[in-house]
Amino acid sequence: MEAAKKIKALRAQTGMTRKDFASHIGIPLRTVEDWEAGRRRPPEYIPRLIEYQLKYEELIEQGEKIIAACGNDCSACPRYHKEPYKKTDDELRHTAEIWFQIGYRDHIVRNEEIACTGCKEDNWCRYRIVKCVNEKQIDHCGQCNQYPCDHIEECFEVTKLFEPSCKKVCTREEYRIMKKAFFEKRQNLDRYANREL
């Protein structure tokens, strides 16, 4: 399906007017109008990104976040490559480019390196969080009776350091996704920690 038809179909699924849809996805109304009318062509990844956002919002409404060991929301993560969140090769490549531009990586890595299927014991984790949750047989730090420990506090602090470069490099929509995926980890874990008290 061509991009213009795909965007129009996605908007139709939401039942929103063009104005409401444009505001919702953070893209100027004139741009959405031009895309739908075929006067301009969006980058190929935009319809998929919008579709991803709408799926994510639907899952959030249903309360189905996938919380990583450190509190990242895998269901929002542009690296998460597990059904039903599998990414295309182009999406993974774009994510690898963003990771390099933000400073998460010192070069553009291959798709196999950027793709993530969740926290596993053999995953590298600079904060030792994955190893810790596995040793304690819990899913994430929010379930730990020592939360918040020094390791997760360090993780929160380092994550904050990347937010300004993320805002600078990403489009508004990309940043919104990155924020949900990475910059709300404390809130995600606090929610679980407080629920289980």
| pLDDT grade for 7, boundaries at 50, 70 and 90 | confident
> Which whole number is the average pLDDT over 119-125?
76
Q: What length does the chain have?
A: 197
> Each residue of 47-90: pLDDT tens digit?
888 888 887 777 665 556 788 999 999 988 999 988 888 899 99
Please report the DSSP string for 148-170 in residue order: S-HHHHHHHHHHHHHHHHHHHHS
Three-class SS state of 182 = helix
Place 1 in a pLDDT band, splitting at 50, 70 and 90: low
Q: What is the CA radius of gyration of the chain?
A: 18
User: Residues near 50 by Cβ (< 8 Å), separated by ≥ 6?
Assistant: 7, 10, 25, 173
For residue 185, count CB atoms less than 10 angstroms from its CB and return exposed for 0-12, middle for 13-18, buried for 19 or more.
Answer: buried
Distance of CA 160 to the CA centre of its chain: 15
Partnered with residue 73 across adjacent β-strands are 67
Q: How does pLDDT run across 132-186, given as a tens digit for each residue?
A: 998 999 989 999 999 999 999 999 999 999 999 999 999 988 998 999 899 999 9
The secondary structure of the chain in percent helix, strand, coil, rounded to multiples of 5, reads 60, 0, 35
Which residues does 164 contact at the CB level (< 8 Å), separation at least 6?
A: none
Ranges of H-type helices in 29-149 = 29-37, 45-62, 89-102, 111-114, 129-136
Q: What is the mean pLDDT of residues 113-142?
A: 86
